[in-house]
């Protein structure tokens, strides 16, 4: 596995790869890798001959009171995991390499960026979209893989690709979970043992809601959301939002139907976790 931090060097490696007609797959990450990330790399590998992954903790997607400085980082461990997956190239730029001191340009996917997670994290998706667009321009992948774990993010990236006519195919990978159902996340290490145990309610409540639809034909989002809130609050979770939305435009639905998506964000202590499920 080659690893590079400079855009110029990365291009010198990738240009001949593309000239040879190899298909380039790309998996962007913020590092501190887990099986969720690795599952996306395996999807890229299946679809492409040359796999690039990036590790970049993107400062512009963090709010002023968020965890940019304490976000977990372990490049050595990540490198070993990526090597094992036979990733061809790791790109780990510095903040300066991505954003020069006089940096001015941002991209915003309107509406989709100001709802759900965007409401409580203003500027977050603008930061994500800007970094991802830059990475796409730098790497020029044929395919990029994003996790359903960050469902709103994946929908926003898909919309950006469509709206800006970017020549990259977006593939979404399913959520990888711990044995007890908690969605894997680099942020799970912030949880105390008690919070970690309580947080399993997130997936339990999502599964419960899905079952209610299929077994008891319950179609009221209000009913489902209220019950889920009660279940989560009983486990000391502080609900940021729970929403039942259309899987493509993320608008709240009036009646639940097959294919809709339940999305949630919940604090356990200071740690904000997100999860979702397809109905
Ligand atoms: P992050 O490092 O958190 O920015 O995530 C990088 C990519 O991995 C994003 O596309 C995430 O959606 C995806 N991802 C994170 N956690 C999981 C998971 N548990 N299962 C599947 N994909 C994930």
What's the confidence (pLDDT) of residue 101?
97
Q: Could you tell me if 144 and 172 are in contact, meaning their C-beta atoms sit under 8 angstroms apart?
A: no
Tens of pLDDT, residue by residue over 178-190, are 999 999 999 999 9
Q: Which ligand 1 atom is at minimum distance from the Cα of 183?
A: 19
Distance in Å, CA 251 to ligand 1 centroid: 23
- Report the residue among 40, 71, 161 best suited for mutation to probe ligand 1: largest number of ligand atoms under 8 A from its CB: 40
For residue 31, which atom of ligand 1 is closest to its CA? Answer: 2
Q: What is the pLDDT of residue 26?
A: 98
Residue 74 confidence (pLDDT): 98
Q: What is the pLDDT of residue 24?
A: 98
What pLDDT does residue 234 have?
98
Mean pLDDT taken over the chain: 98
8 Å CB contact between 171 and 148? no
pLDDT, residue 253, reads: 98
The reported pLDDT for the residue numbered 8 is 98
Q: What is the pLDDT of residue 93?
A: 98
Q: pLDDT tens for residues 95-151?
A: 999 999 999 999 999 999 999 999 999 999 999 999 999 999 999 999 999 999 999
Query: What percent of the chain has pLDDT above 70?
Result: 100
Atom of ligand 1 nearest to the CA of 187: 3
pLDDT band at 17 (very low <50, low <70, confident <90, very high): very high
Which pLDDT score, from 0 to 100, does residue 20 have? Answer: 96
Protein residue with its CA nearest to atom 10 in ligand 1 = 146
Options 10, 37, 176, 272, the catalytic residue: 37
- The alpha carbon of 38 and the centre of ligand 1 are apart by a number of angstroms equal to 9
Measured in degrees and rounded to the nearest 5, phi and psi for residue 70 equal: -100, 5
Using one digit for the tens of pLDDT, what is the confidence trace for 235-263? Answer: 999 999 999 999 999 999 999 999 999 99
């Amino acid at each position: 596995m080659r690893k590079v931090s400079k855009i110029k060097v990365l291009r010198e490696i990738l240009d001949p790869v593309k000239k040879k007609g190899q298909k380039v797959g790309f998996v962007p990450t913020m590092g501190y890798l887990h099986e969720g990330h690795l599952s996306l790399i395996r999807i890229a590998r299946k679809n492409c001959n040359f796999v690039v992954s990036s590790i970049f903790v993107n400062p512009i997607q963090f709010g002023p009171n968020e965890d940019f400085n304490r976000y977990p980082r372990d490049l050595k461990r990540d490198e070993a995991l990526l090597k094992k997956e036979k990733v061809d190239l790791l790109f780990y730029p510095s903040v300066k390499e991505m954003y020069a001191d006089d940096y001015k340009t941002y991209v915003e996917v309107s509406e989709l960026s100001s709802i759900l997670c965007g409401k409580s994290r203003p500027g977050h998706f603008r930061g994500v979209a800007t970094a991802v667009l830059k990475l796409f321009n730098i790497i020029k992948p044929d395919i990029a893989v994003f996790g359903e774990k960050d469902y709103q993010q994946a929908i926003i990236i898909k919309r950006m690709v469509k709206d800006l006519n970017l020549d990259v195919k977006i593939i979404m990978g399913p959520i990888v979970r711990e044995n007890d159902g908690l969605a894997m996340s680099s942020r799970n290490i912030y949880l105390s043992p008690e919070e970690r145990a309580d947080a399993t309610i997130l997936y339990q409540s999502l599964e419960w809601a899905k079952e209610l639809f299929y077994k008891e034909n319950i179609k009221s989002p209000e009913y489902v959301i209220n019950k889920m809130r009660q279940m989560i609050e009983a486990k000391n979770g502080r609900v940021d939002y729970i929403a039942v939305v259309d899987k493509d435009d993320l608008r709240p639905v009036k009646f639940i139907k097959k294919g809709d998506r339940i999305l949630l964000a919940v604090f356990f202590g200071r740690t904000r976790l997100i999860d979702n499920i397809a109905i």
